[in-house]
């Protein structure tokens, strides 16, 4: 499971209005990885200098090509957790607390869902969005929750650029984010064939804290 985020941890008028966490469950990670690897080599042969795929700064032609490849994948699922950040209680307005709330909710949702009985072990790779100190605080919250689920797991923090599946997670998170933030629906339209779910973590919230 490859997890990436879109949005930032700035809880002020200068920050993003929304935050999205996407989990890409790759049933055969080598297959999905090779699709984007092949695309990268083709783009290089076409004279387009691509180091790695990152939705926000990528040129439109590259984005189109990446979404075309993701759209054809048949071995992944997407699970989204998202929120209007203005509804975030002050107790959670720090990167580690906010990320931990999202991470444990997402993992509990997926672990208790369709993955509950199908696999003996789940490997979770988060984007390296937190500092080492923040990662320790995050794991201190998340690990006790996951132990209660009774499913063996391993958690790692890797840079998104280090794995093509992580880059798929980045693109999927960005697609949901621009839909929420800018009402731009075209990227999400490209993902409609892929099995997915989404959950607004503050859907019952009415208070805006900033």
Q: Region 145-162: what's the mean pLDDT?
A: 85
Q: What is the pLDDT of residue 138?
A: 87
Question: 20: exposed, middle or buried (C-beta count within 10 Å: 0-12, 13-18, 19+)?
Answer: buried
**Each residue's pLDDT tens digit, 1-35:** 999 999 999 999 999 999 999 999 988 899 999 99
Q: Region 81-109: what's the mean pLDDT?
A: 92
Q: Report all structural domains of the chain as residue ranges with CATH numbers, in order of start.
A: 2-200 (3.30.420)
Q: Are 13 and 169 in contact (CB under 8 A)?
A: no
Q: Are 110 and 25 in contact (CB under 8 A)?
A: yes
Would you say the C-alpha torsion 2, 6, 12, 14 has a positive or negative sign? positive
Tokens of 13: 């008028």
């Amino acid at each position: 499971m490859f997890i990436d985020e879109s949005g930032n941890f700035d809880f002020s008028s200068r920050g993003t209005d929304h935050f999205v966490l996407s989990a890409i469950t790759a049933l055969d990670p080598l297959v999905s990885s090779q699709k984007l690897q092949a695309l990268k080599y083709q783009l290089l042969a076409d004279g387009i200098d691509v180091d790695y795929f990152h939705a926000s700064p990528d040129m439109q032609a590259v984005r189109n090509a990446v979404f075309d490849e993701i759209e054809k994948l048949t071995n992944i699922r997407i699970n989204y957790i998202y929120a209007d950040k203005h509804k975030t209680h002050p107790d959670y307005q720090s990167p580690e607390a906010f990320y931990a709330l999202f991470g444990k909710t997402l993992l509990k949702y997926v672990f208790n869902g369709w993955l509950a009985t199908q696999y003996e072990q789940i490997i979770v790779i988060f984007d390296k969005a937190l500092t080492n100190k923040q990662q320790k605080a995050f794991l201190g919250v998340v690990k006790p929750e996951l132990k209660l689920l009774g499913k063996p797991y391993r958690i790692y923090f890797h840079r998104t650029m280090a794995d093509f599946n992580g880059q798929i997670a980045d693109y999927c998170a960005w697609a949901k984010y621009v839909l929420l933030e800018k009402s731009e629906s075209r990227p999400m339209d490209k993902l409609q064939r892929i099995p997915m779910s989404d959950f607004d973590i503050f859907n019952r919230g009415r208070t805006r804290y900033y």
